[in-house]
Structure 1
Amino acid sequence: MENESNKISLSSFLYSDNSEELFASIDYLLKDGMHIQKQGKQINQFNFISQNQESLKMYYNTFFKVDLVEAGQDNAIYYYLDFINNNRGHISEKHRHMLKSEYVIIGFLIYKIVFIDREIDLESVQKLKEKIRIESEDYKQGIYALIAKSKNTTPGNYNDDLIDRTIQSALEEFKKIGWINLEKDEFHILPAFDRLLKVYEDYIINIDETLNELK
């Protein structure tokens, strides 16, 4: 419990009014790679983290050797767990989320279409697939090679159906970690999609060169 001087400790968050209701779900989500932001069903979880950020940061750093990070600004703030100096911390392997290389490339193409080419009103999954097929025409062989590598198979002939299925899988993964909302044929990019830029900034700044390497 907090001491008489109200000094914040790594257990202070446990004594918040809604800790029993919210902390367990927040803990599971963060360890599973979720980015929590002030959006939809995450609002209460976001507010809990915001109100107890200092205590939670100490908790994750002390017991799991990972950082609770606040990123973004204003209404686009989000929280996630990050490893310290590439140390994997004390979080179980089954909770460590790593995006497949082909999903990262799909993320690059989405970023290029929406934020560089300014297709900001694009919300249809089907139209996104069509756009990516056009954008990736010169890179399809390279994308297929990445898919084959991730499945430990030999590259063969690529086709639009394979690209579409890869885009769908990438979108579902992005939903799982809180980068987008996805409902049937509709998707919306969330503030945490910004994490793609933070992790792969050098590649995105030189996005044409990055994509050209797939040719």
Structure 2
Amino acid sequence: MENESIKEGITSFLNHSDTPQLFAILDYKLKDGVHIQREGKQVELYNYLNANEISLVNYYRDLFNVELTFAGTEPNTYYFLDFIGANRGRIDTNHRHHMKSEFVIIGFIIYKIFYIDKQVDVSSVQDLQKKIRLDYEDLKPGIYRLIAKSRNTNPGNLNDEAIDSAIQSALTEFKKIGWVKLQGDEFDLLPAFDRLILIYEDLITNIDETLSELK
């Protein structure tokens, strides 16, 4: 009876009326590292996930050895798949998300601009590119080094266009995983951007020291 109860807990989401339309879409997004929140077209997926949370938590934990995690504070909550400890789970490597170092650093700078310096006037990609180029000029050598490492080139070959390109690419990457809304030149931080803070809590806590290492 216990095994039957466990099985029912894992598969009960299959009985939900929206499963045929939504589960495959949700499954691909979660495995690709997307954070699901009450945002745009994700609202339907979020509500489905919320309605089947216990069953889906058991499903991903028991079959894939990863943790379906709920984070944030109401109303800015979100779901994502997290690895358990050092275990990478049983999700194919093609679906695992690895973020480039320069994107992480750009995320740190965005965090500092919006959450520490509270520069709310930055609302476009061009605004962000200009602010990082001008107000954080002392960090550029370190950003160049990170970009050069990922591109396998010499930092001396890079200029401000490389910074602008890296910022655009970082925002595009953040959009893919549900951290920002990006449409043309306009962008907004989404609740799941908070995940950056959770992943790199120690570095964010000492962000000035972290960024100073780029100088």
Distance between the aligned counterparts of 1:142 and 1:60, measured in 2?
39
| Percent identity over paired residues | 58
Q: Any unmatched runs of 5+ in structure 1?
A: none
1:8 to partner: Cα distance: 5.5
Q: What is the TM-score when the length of structure 1 is the normalising length?
A: 0.95
Indicate if the aligned counterparts of 1:35 and 1:178 stay in contact, CA closer than 8 A.
yes
1:73 to partner: Cα distance: 1.3
Distance between the aligned counterparts of 1:51 and 1:23, measured in 2?
12
Distance between the aligned counterparts of 2:53 and 2:8, measured in 1?
10
Distance between the aligned counterparts of 1:88 and 1:155, measured in 2?
33
Specify the code of the residue in structure 1 equivalent to 2:85. Answer: N
Aligned equivalent of 1:111: 111
Offset from partner CA, 1:128-151 (integer Å, 9 cap, x none): 111111233111111111111112
Aligned equivalent of 2:79: 79
SS in structure 1 at match of 2:123: coil
SS in structure 2 at match of 1:138: helix
Specify the code of the residue in structure 2 equivalent to 1:78. Answer: Y
Distance between the aligned counterparts of 1:67 and 1:198, measured in 2?
15
Aligned equivalent of 2:143: 143
Indicate if the aligned counterparts of 1:144 and 1:158 stay in contact, CA closer than 8 A.
yes
Specify the code of the residue in structure 2 equivalent to 1:35. Answer: H
Q: How many pairs were matched up?
A: 212
Aligned equivalent of 1:45: 45
Offset from partner CA, 1:144-193 (integer Å, 9 cap, x none): 11111112223224311110000000000000000000000100100000
1:86 to partner: Cα distance: 1.7
Aligned equivalent of 2:169: 169
Aligned equivalent of 1:60: 60
Aligned equivalent of 2:26: 26
Indicate if the aligned counterparts of 1:179 and 1:193 stay in contact, CA closer than 8 A.
yes
Distance between the aligned counterparts of 1:196 and 1:150, measured in 2?
20
Aligned equivalent of 1:187: 187
Distance between the aligned counterparts of 2:38 and 2:23, measured in 1?
16
Distance between the aligned counterparts of 1:78 and 1:121, measured in 2?
26
Q: What is the root-mean-square deviation of aligned Cα atoms in Å?
A: 1.7
Specify the code of the residue in structure 2 equivalent to 1:19. Answer: T
Q: What is the TM-score when the length of structure 2 is the normalising length?
A: 0.95
**Structure that is richer in helix per residue:** 2
Distance between the aligned counterparts of 1:80 and 1:110, measured in 2?
22
Specify the code of the residue in structure 2 equivalent to 1:113. Answer: I
Aligned equivalent of 2:202: 202
Distance between the aligned counterparts of 2:67 and 2:131, measured in 1?
37
1:121 to partner: Cα distance: 4.3
Distance 1:8 1:115, change over 3 A: farther
SS in structure 2 at match of 1:24: helix
Aligned equivalent of 2:154: 154
Deviates more, 1:142-151 or 1:171-180: 142-151
Offset from partner CA, 1:83-123 (integer Å, 9 cap, x none): 00121111111100011000000000100001111123421
